[in-house]
Structure 1
Amino acid sequence: MRVGKFLVVQGIRSRFFCMLTDVALGTANQRIIANPPSWEDTFLREVLAGSGTYGSINLTPMLMFTPENVEDSMVNGNIKSAKVSSSLASFEAQTSTTMELLPVKTIPSHFSQVYEALEEDFRRVFGWEDDPIRKNFSIGKPLDMDVPVCLDLNRFVERSNGIFGKSGTGKSFLTRLLLAGTIRKNAAVNLIFDMHSEYGWEAVSEGQQFSTVKGLKQLFPNKVEVYTLDPASTKRRGVPHAQELYLSYDQIEVEDIKLCSRDLGLSDASIDNANILCAEFGKSWILQLINMSNEEIKLFCEEKRGHQGSITALQRKLLRMENLKYMRAACPHNYVNQMLRSLEAGKNLVVEFGSQSDMLSYMLVTNMITRRIHQHYVGKAEKFLQTKNPSDRPTQLMITIEEAHRFLDPSIVQSTIFGNIAREMRKYFVTLLVVDQRPSGIDNEVMSQIGTRVTALLNDEKDIEAIFTGVAGGSALRSVLAKLDSKQQALILGHAVPMPVVVRTRPYDTLFYRDIGDPVWEEKPDAEVLAAAELARADLGF
């Protein structure tokens, strides 16, 4: 028995699906601990085992099922054995068919039988990957069973979600798995801000030997488009058909600068003066400011009641943008509108940053593009609500951001587009997939709105506490999360799964490419490669 195991308790009227949350040793008498038998005294240890010494396990009921025609087996406080056997037979017959899983409202009686969960139990709870109705996707398998655990992708994409774990626990691989499943099942279109160029094209695999794993563009060449802020870097990596992405100063608004104020070193006074400049010069306020002399700044402050020191500091710090490869004084082509057209056509977009992966660039570009796309989606959603015409319904959009605590920090979350999206949930058909190793840095209100949480190992107590913000019964799962292995294990809980579950995550390997990717993703691998992959998966129990 190990923490995270899936167990079933068979009561008289209901069946309870439970998770093992803790294991402990106990003794019937404290004198045994005060005077324990020596290790060589095997006879005495065997005498005490099971009576004087024992092990205990803690179960947390997560779901229950009560068939409608199970008769009340309690008559005058006594159990009638005939009715019990009849009820259990009826129970087994009904659980072999479709059933409705309900939240736990009671507990099983004393002496109820506890069983290890079977494959049929997992199927009843988590469904089948080939379900014709639900868009299920297998994310892994239980720790000690060979049966897939499925996420309902329709429920997954309709709310904002999070992937958490400390550095080196495989967050990027979990993200690739979920993004590949979303694309394969056509559950949503994705806009992925790829800070370290890991999702679009091939990336380095973690391990002692150097190897690479395929990106989304390789698996779905006709469904994924790659935009790059650093064409030279993308070309060196061999990414085909990557589209260059440029932004201009006149596209930057004060709200975009405000999000980057920490990285630019701007004070609140500088932001206030930026609003004054924007009100005077409109979209060209940054170009006007950069080209102003000290005398012109002085005259402007006298006329518009600005602060000369703050505006001078703002000018000096905005000059850093001249070193950004993707920034232009003016862009004849509107790349954001081009990206919108691709999203509406059902294309999934990956924005690679290449060498421009510093936090200033990541936060500036991500905020600029997201604000405009969200504004477009708000307009489309309002039109759909007005016309009720299915053809006007926007395609569900999921935006993936890394280092999410930088965008969702409590001090700025109320004024950022990402905080708005997380709180709005599915109202405007736009949700977030946040990837972070410091969930404690994310605002509590936003964390409480995270629908599904896929969490690898965390050690910091504040981070563990943040994971269970807004989760009923989260205290019972803390020990489960703390006991995960550092590789290829995750706790999944929330909207897309019926109950919390610990899984060995699905290997991201050649067989996964073959199962999930488009038929044209690559030439067929040779027999030796497939045989080696099969052997590796067999060793892992897959």
Structure 2
Amino acid sequence: MEPLRRPPERPDRLGVITHGSLSQGVEMKLEASESIEEVVAGTFVVIQGEKYDFFSMITDVRIDAANENILLHPPSAENNLLRQILRGSGTYATVTLKPMLMMRNDGLQELAEVQPVKTVPSHFAAVYRATAEDVTRIFGHEANEGGNRYFQVGEPLGMPGIPVCMDLDRLVERSNAVFGKTGTGKTFLTRLLLCGTIKTGKAVNLVFDMHSEYGYSARKEDGTFVKGLRELFPTRVVVFSLDPEGTRKRTQRTPDCDVYLYADQIEPEDILPLQETLNLNETAAESSFLLQRKFGRNWLLQLLQTPETELNDLAEAVGAHPASLGALRRKLSPFERYSFFKTEPSTGKRDVLEDLLEALRSQKSVVFEFGRYDDLRVYMLVAQVITRRVRAAYEEMTTTYLQTQNEADRPPQLVITIEEAHKFLMPGIARETPFGKIAREMRKYFVSLLVVDQRPSAIDEEVLSQIGTRIIAQLNDDKDIAAALVGTRDAGALRQVLASLDSKQQALILGHAVPMPIVVKTRTYDDAFYAALRSSDLPGQDFDSLDRNMKQWFY
């Protein structure tokens, strides 16, 4: 193999290094020919040192002067000649850079690999805009590794047409998060990640679709419509609906499976996260455990079917406080009005939750639509019940796999997507919910979370520390910005980058699935994107024929 040659002089020189340290980053004096107004926080640049290329991010910009007298007596607006004379010498711009990775550039082939930054470039090292080759060298390319490991999520700021990819093998290994305030495109970012895992087969997905935005076509803010996952991957995605009639009216299509939830499928631990939402005190919530101890899986049936006049007798029988038991009954009885909720015993009835598990085992991703039941109480309860069941099934499948060591028994990697995640993962209850347990413990059972939320500051810090990869759109609240960066290196430098993001189609990506933090203009979810995905599903058949084939899988 030929030795690696020192790279030739690069185009697009921005300036030279003048100050810096390993801990605080380095400073660049901007070339006089460059406009400070075109130097943007979050831009990907390369410092060409004597022995290393340092791949870096612009974190701050400022203007300066060699002599304070210049600022006391600035040239007038009409004196353009003096302004030009002073520019670059008397007045200049300083740009703060944070080196993230480095690579040998001195011809030593065996050392020419990307590694963490352990030193700083020397004085007057030149700084250049990154090239397409730099981006590919660091972030990979969709054509690499057989075309099923890397997935394009956007392009670097100021570098249109150059793809930034995420490593999907590393993405699905851990729980991940999409953070951003309302209106920043969290749903579209989430769709991109889901499309990547489905296209490449890296994971199956269970998406709790609170607002019916992922399964079939959905309306954008500008009034246009975008395709859902069921339409993009008709042989790999199935739709389960809590409101099948609403799904049919909205999409003119029948969901793959109508969902019914039976009272005897609900356990007391499913009620705990609803304490705040239902305004239940701890005593009322704990009454559910007393009922379960007495009546087993029929505890909720017994509670709902007991007349108000007999609640005192029921409380005495189970050892609960009558007022607490009454409060629990009042808060849970509204579920009886919902058509999906059944109070008769589930014995002998079709188990829709088992159908869902069978879909996941068969490598089908599931979009679970709530339709008109997008009330937070319903969303939290149903998601709790299903996730608890999925968690138990995956623990069992993993135990079997470890016993047999047969690849045929290996559970498919599962990513569970939850919106309004802070409701399940807030301090005090995160340890008790299946979602909190998945975030902390379930990597070894082939399950991870995709957390979607606008309030990361409301999520338990231990859960945040377990997040592998973060895609962070614009956040305004300082507490949310700090929470979004919990446990990350260089959080101080990245705060300024986050503060400079546009409100649309920009995000900071950092963590396990990317070698270094980078700000991207996110990939557009449009016809070109659909065309890029089309080859990944069965070609040559229209959606309706594929849809009919999938229906036969359930009916």
TM-score, normalised via structure 1 length = 0.89
Which residue of 1 is the match for residue 374 of structure 2?
Answer: 357
Question: What amino acid does structure 2 have at the position aligned with 1:342?
Answer: A
- Answer yes or no: is the 8 Å Cα contact 1:234–1:242 preserved in 2: no
Q: How does 1:58-457 map to 2 (within 5 A)?
A: 58-66=96-104, 87=106, 90=107, 94=109, 99-132=112-145, 135-145=149-159, 146-207=161-222, 210-237=223-250, 238-294=252-308, 296-330=310-344, 331=346, 332-457=349-474
For each residue in 1:490-542, what CA deviation from the matched residue of structure 2 results, as whole angstroms up to 9, or x when unmatched? 11000000111111111111111111133549869xxxxxxxxxxxxxxxxxx
- Cα 1:287/1:204, change in 2 over 3 Å: same
Does the aligned pair in 2 maintain the 1:397–1:431 contact within 8 Å? Answer: yes
Q: Which whole-Å CA distance do the structure 1 matches of 2:406 and 2:240 have between them?
A: 32
Partner of 1:495: 512
User: Once the 2 structures are TM-superposed, how far is the Cα of residue 43 of structure 1 from its aligned partner?
Assistant: 2.3
Q: Which amino acid aligns with 1:123?
A: T
Contact 2:336–2:343 (CA under 8 A) maintained in structure 1: no
Aligned pairs for 1:16-27 (under 5 A) are 16-27=54-65
CA distance in 2, matches of 1:66, 1:378: 45
**SS of aligned partner of 1:499:** coil
Q: Residue 416 of structure 2 contacts residue 448 of structure 2 at CA under 8 Å; is this kept in 1?
A: yes
Alignment map for 1:49-60 (pairs within 5 Å): 49-60=87-98
Cα RMSD over matched residues? Answer: 1.8
User: How big is the shift at 1:386?
Assistant: 3.0
Cα distance, 1:220–1:99 mapped onto 2, change above 3 Å: farther
Say which SS state the counterpart of residue 407 (structure 1) adopts.
helix
Of residues 487-496 and 107-116 in structure 1, the stretch that sits farther from structure 2 once superposed is 107-116
User: Amino acid of the residue matched to residue 467 of structure 1?
Assistant: A
Q: What secondary structure is seen at the aligned counterpart in 2 of 1:56?
A: strand
**Contact preservation (8 Å) 2:176, 2:450:** yes
**Closer, same or farther in 2 for the Cα pair 1:522/1:454, shift >3 Å?**
farther
For 1:302 and 1:240, the matched residues in 2 are separated by 48
Distance 2:69 2:253 in 1: 70
Matched residue pairs, number? 497
State the 1:294 CA deviation: 4.5
Contact 1:218–1:522, Cα closer than 8 Å, also in 2: no
Shift of 1:239: 2.6
Q: CA deviation at 1:171?
A: 0.8
Q: Deviations over 1:40-83 (max 9, x none)?
A: 1222212211111000111100001136xxxxxxxxxxxxxxxx
The counterpart of 2:82, out of the listed 44, 47, 58, is 44
Q: Distance in 1 between matches of 2:145 and 2:64?
A: 48
Identity over aligned residues, as a percent?
50
Could you tell me how far 1:261 is from its partner in structure 2? 1.9
C-alpha contact (below 8 Å) 1:15/1:66 kept by paired residues = yes
Superposition deviation, residue 22 in structure 1:
1.1
State the shift of 1:263 in Å: 2.1
Residue type of the partner of 1:225? V
Runs of 4+ in 1 over 3 A off after TM superposition: 293-296, 300-304, 519-524
Contact 1:220-1:521 within 8 A present in 2 as well:
no
Letter in 1 for 2:171: F
**Aligned partner of residue 434 in structure 1, secondary structure:** strand
Give TM-score scaled by structure 2 length.
0.87
The amino acid across from 1:131 in the alignment is: N
Q: Unaligned stretches of 5+ in structure 1?
A: 68-86, 525-542
Q: Deviations over 1:301-335 (max 9, x none)?
A: 33443211111222222211112221001341111
Whole-Å Cα distance in 2 between the matches of residues 425 and 51 of structure 1? 58
Matched residue SS, 2:354: helix
Q: Which amino acid in structure 2 is aligned with residue 115 of structure 1?
A: Y
Relative to structure 2, which stretch is displaced further, 355-364 or 291-300? Answer: 291-300
Helix, strand or coil: the match of 1:513?
helix
Q: Is the 8 A contact 2:181 2:476 kept in 1?
A: yes
CA distance in 1, matches of 2:100, 2:144: 23
- Report the Cα distance in structure 1 between the residues aligned to 2:329 and 2:420, rounded to whole angstroms: 28
Q: SS state of the match for residue 450, structure 2?
A: strand
Partner Cα separation in structure 1 for residue 278 and residue 256 of structure 2: 30
Further displaced range: 309-318 or 411-420: 309-318
SS at match of 1:36: coil
Aligned to 1:227, what secondary structure does the other structure show?
strand
Contact 1:158 1:425 in 2 (8 A): no
Do 1:343 and 1:349's aligned partners in 2 also have CA atoms closer than 8 Å?
yes
**Structure 2: where are the runs of 5+ without partners?**
1-38, 544-555
| Cα distance, 1:221 vs structure 2 | 0.6
- Structure 2 letter corresponding to 1:309: A
- 3-state SS of the aligned residue for 2:443? coil
Answer whether contact 2:425 2:463 (CA < 8 A) is retained: yes
- 1:522 & 1:26 partners in 2: Cα distance? 63
Please give the secondary structure, in 2, of the residue aligned with 1:415. coil
Aligned twin of 1:539? none
Contact 2:206-2:367 within 8 A present in 1 as well = yes
Change (3 A) 1:420 1:319: same
Indicate conservation of the 8 Å contact 2:238/2:256, yes or no: yes
